[in-house]
Amino acid sequence: MPIDFTLTPEQKAMQAAARQFAQEVLKPLVRAADAEPDPQKGFQMMKPVYEIAYQHGLVTGGFPREYGGAGMSNLDLQIAFEEICAVDCGFAFILGVNALALFPVLAYGTEEQKKRFITEACNDPTHSYLCGYAASEPAGVPGGTANFDHPSPQGGIRTTADLVNGEYVINGRKFWPSSSAGWDMKGADMNSVVVRTDRTKGGREGLSVLMVPRGTPGVRYEPCIDKMGMRINQNCDIVFENARVPAENALAIGNGELVINNGFTFTGPVVGIAAVGVARAAYEYVLQWCKTYTAGGTDPIIYHQNVGYMLGDIAMRIEAARYLSWKSAHYLDLYGFDGAQGLSAMTKVFCSEICTQVVYDCMRVMGQNSYDRAAHPLDKLMRDMLGFPIFDGGNMGMQRRKLWGLMAGEKFDPRAYAACDRVHFGKENEGIGVVTTRPEALSEPAAAGR
C-alpha cells in the first residue's frame, strides 16, 4: 500500500534543523518584536533572523535548483514550516510570501522572466531579499476584492495598468500586501501586483500581473497596519500614481484571476500547517501545565476526566489537520496549481477553524491563568490564530466560494480526492456567486408590468 506517513531520514534532519532554528534563533526575539507598538519596528527587528533563515534555505528552498533554489517539494516545506509556525506564524509568513509573490513567474512567466526574477531572489548577497504580493484592495463602495473575478468591469480589482509606448502605467491602491514596503518602507526588492490591464472586461478576462521593482517612481507606501495578531508580518497600503514599468515585466495577461486563485491554492496547505503549528504550541504548553497544576486539589488536573477528554479531542483535531495539510501539499506536488484547488481550499478552511477551536479549548482547560499574557503564551497564540479564518481569501469569502465553484462544475467527481486523482480547476469554475440578486431587483419586473 503506497500510503505512508513515515518521514524519510532527510525529512527528519530537515525537521530537526528547522526546529533548532525556530527555538534558538527565532524564539528569543519574538516576544519583544510582537510587543513593539510600532509594527514596522517589530518587522525590522526580524531582519537579522530573516538573513539567517535565507542562508539556511528557508526563504528560497521551494524554488527550482536551476535558478538557485533548493528544489524542495511542497510536502518538505510543510515539515519545516510547522516548526517555525509553532514559534511565530507571522515570521513564517514573511518567509512564505516570497514564494507566493514569485509563483506567477514560475507558472506564467517566460524563461527569460524566470531567469531574471527568480535567480535574483535566490542569489542575494545580502541575504535580505524581499518580494511582496499585492492583490487585495481597500474596502469601500465600490471596493474590496472578494469578488475579484466578477464578470463586469465595474466589479473587482480597481487598480489599472494601461499600456503606453511599451510601458504599463499603474494607478490605484493596494491594501494588506505582505512585505511590500520592505525593511525600510521604501519598497521590497520586487512587488508582484495584480492589476486590471483591460478596463472593458471583467475579472475573468481583464486582470494581469506586473512585477514592480524597488525604486519605481510613482509608488508610495503608507504606514503599516497596526494588527491584532501576526504583528511581526508587515502589511501596509501601496499607492500607485502613474507608476511605470516596462512591458516585459508583465505576465499572465488576461489570466490574473487564475493567478489569485492559484496563489490561494499554494497558500492553502501553508496556512493549514501554520494553523497546526499554532494549535500544537497551545496544546503542548497546556498539556505540560496540566501535569503539574493542581488547581488547589491534591493531584495535577491531568488526572481529572474532563481535562483528559478535552486534551484527547484537541490532540485528535491537530493530527487530522496535519494530515490534511500534508495531503494537499502532496496534491500540489503531483498536479500543480490547476489540480489542487479544491483540496487546498478544504485545508485552509478546515485547519484554520480547527485551530480556532483548539486554542480556545486549551484556554478553557487552563482556566483564568491563560489570560495572563506576561506569564503564559495563550494570549499571543489566540491573537495570531484569529487571523487564519479571515485572511488569505477568507473562509467565508474566496475559499469556500472556490470550492463551491469547483463542485458546481459538470465534470466534478466527488470521489476524486479519495482516489488521489487530479481535479481540474479552470476559468469555467470562476465567478460563481459574484452576481447576486438584490431585493429591489426582484420587484422590477412587477413594477414594469404596472
Summarize pLDDT for 84-123 with one digit per residue, the tens.
999 999 999 999 999 999 999 999 999 999 999 999 999 9
The structure's pTM equals 0.94
Separation of alpha carbons 130 and 392, rounded Å:
19
pLDDT tens readout for residues 248-261? 999 999 999 999 98
Closest-CA residue to 241 (of 216, 265, 266, 258): 216
DSSP annotation of 49 reads: H
Separation of alpha carbons 313 and 377, rounded Å:
21
Output phi, psi for 397, to 5 deg: -120, -110
Separation of alpha carbons 26 and 19, rounded Å:
10
Separation of alpha carbons 315 and 327, rounded Å:
19
Flag whether pLDDT at 447 surpasses 60. Answer: no
Confidence (pLDDT) at 141: 66
Mean pLDDT of 217-238: 96
Classify domain 9-122 at the CATH topology level.
Butyryl-Coa Dehydrogenase, subunit A; domain 1 (1.10.540)
**pLDDT class of 146 with cuts at 50, 70, 90:** confident
Confidence (pLDDT) at 439: 73
Cis preceding linkage at 269, omega within 30: no
Separation of alpha carbons 343 and 341, rounded Å:
6
Average pLDDT of every residue of the chain: 93
pLDDT tens readout for residues 369-383? 999 999 999 999 999
Helix axes 89-108, 74-85, angle to 10 degrees: 160
**pLDDT class of 443 with cuts at 50, 70, 90:** low
Q: Which CATH number fits domain 257-429: 1.20.140.10, 3.30.530.20, 3.20.20.140, 3.40.50.2300?
A: 1.20.140.10
pLDDT tens readout for residues 51-70? 999 999 999 999 999 999 99
| Domain range list for the chain | 9-122, 131-253, 257-429
Superfamily (CATH H level) for 131-253: Butyryl-CoA Dehydrogenase, subunit A, domain 2 (2.40.110.10)
Separation of alpha carbons 170 and 241, rounded Å:
7
All three cell numbers of 178: 505582505
